[in-house]
Structure 1
Amino acid sequence: MRRLTRQIEQLLYTEECVVVPGIGAFLVHHEPAVVDEQKGLIYPGRCRISFNAALKDNDGVLVKSYSDAFSFGYRRSLSIMEKDIEELRSQLLTSGVVEVGEVGKLIQSKGEMNLTFIPNPHHPFSIDYYGLRPVAMLPRPEVTTEETGRRAGLKGHIYYLPINLRAIGYSSVAAAMVAMAIFIPNQKLQSPSNAMQYQAGFLTEQVAEQEAEPAPVVEEVQVPTFEGFRITEGSERLGHYYVVVATLPNEAMAHKFIHENSSYLRFTKEGGVLISSRGVHRFYAASFETKEGAQEYLSELTKEEAFKTAWIHKQ
């Protein structure tokens, strides 16, 4: 079972969803920094790991990790993975607790089918592991200038300082006059040797047309696609939320899946495919700038039996 936990640990650094077939899925959540104005503290952003027992279907990611680690083919890697998962399931039934390496613990109460996940507080994703602590906010300034009587203050997230524009204007003019007195020479300016080079002139219409450069030809950029789905690069549209409807471990299986499931072609207009550096193909139905929009779309989509296992992936 050590092989299984090792693969889960490694995948969580590169994947946001690691499915253990028949058990559930480990999910990585990215939480932004939070400002608590009442306490005057800024809490740093962090990652946390959760567990979803509803995601049990094999998406091929864990099998591919086995194959890459041990240089086995797909069938042998699948057989080894299933054996390790069976060992994990057996330990859950006997002891009720399984240590998933540095990730955390899976707990199953006797007589209950639901699993409880307790994340490891000392995992590298934990804030305490890096020693990151909340930091104090800048105090609100209460400074009053003598000349204007205006007070510096905070508006929104920007500090505004009172500045006397008239004083700045006078000082700028004085500095410019001093610079002119220093750098302009006292001798007479001499005219250039070839005065013809500095005389204005006109080109005839015929010469102007000959010297005019041709307008550049703009070529239409072809958007790369995969089986009709728009390919979204890894660095493109960062921070977006994608409603994933299918995940395949490699290009060959992705081709076969789309050919055998034509119903997924309904998402080619608004959706696309995310291809990771490991070759994993994630077909998504739609993408959103906010998590709320993605969750609202997901709740409607999962009402259809064919897309019950759809989930949200953050780029």
Structure 2
Amino acid sequence: MQLETYISDLLYRYDCVTVPGLGAFLTNRVSAKVHKTTHTFYPPKKVLSFNEQLQNNDGLLANYISEVEKTPYSKAAEKISEQVKSIKSFLVEGETIKFENIGELILNADGNIVFDPSFHINYLTDSFGFSHFMSSDITREIYKDTVEAIEETAPIAFTPEKRSNNNWLKYAATAVIILGLAGLSAAFLYNNSIEDHNQLAQEKANEQLDAKVQEATFIISNPLPAATLSIKKQSGNYHIVAGAFRIEANSDKKVNQLRAKGYKARKIGANRYGLHEVVYASFETRAEAQSELYKVRREHNRDAWLLIKKLD
């Protein structure tokens, strides 16, 4: 049973999802924010947390599992209880429990569960489709500062003159100077505007060119035939345990028995209690291991269980 999948589904619709016997996953809505240093804009989201004290069964999770898997409520509650027992046993052994798209659980020195939330998914449906983005600094008052600098370098002084028949020439000259300075300022601002426009246009053209290159399809007229290799990799951190033996010879015997039945059995070393562990197989993902575990329990050993352990 993919417990984290059901919890993740419910977190989109509810602010509290309780796992009976383990604790509750809570969500708290936070507003959009801007990072002052990186100038990154983040949309509104739900922040995840975990409360170990909330363990009473409110029926939400069991009802949802019962509905999805088309099983009775009591059966769904029993599956949750078995999963919680397995999780707690791993936590006691010092293992880290990973809930995909939710976070990680680990037991601290005081015996309390510590939760490290995941930030890969935003459970706030109002922000669906939104993602963070960065924006460059906005420089203001550039034009004003430029005009003030020009006025400081080319001051205009007006002195009283005696009225004569040539006064209109003096006024005309003054007007020409004023218009010339105004035209110079306008031309300077216009040139800056044109340069900014050209730069934006060039950046847009480069982006379009990059997109075309990335979308280009190259066709080879005489392609070489594809070579298909089937390699079974016996690795991974998810192991289906067949048993643990104090005498190593007994573990070797168990491996031979399982391999005779078609399983890819092997020994993965001794655990913290000195018992030699034998597994049916190891897998890269929890989903693959869980699927094989159901098959093993149904066809061979009802006591088989899933171990999450990173091997050296």
Normalising by structure 2, we get a TM-score of 0.39
Considering only CA atoms, is the larger Rg found in Structure 1 or Structure 2? 2
Normalising by structure 1, we get a TM-score of 0.38
Which protein is richer in helix relative to its size?
2
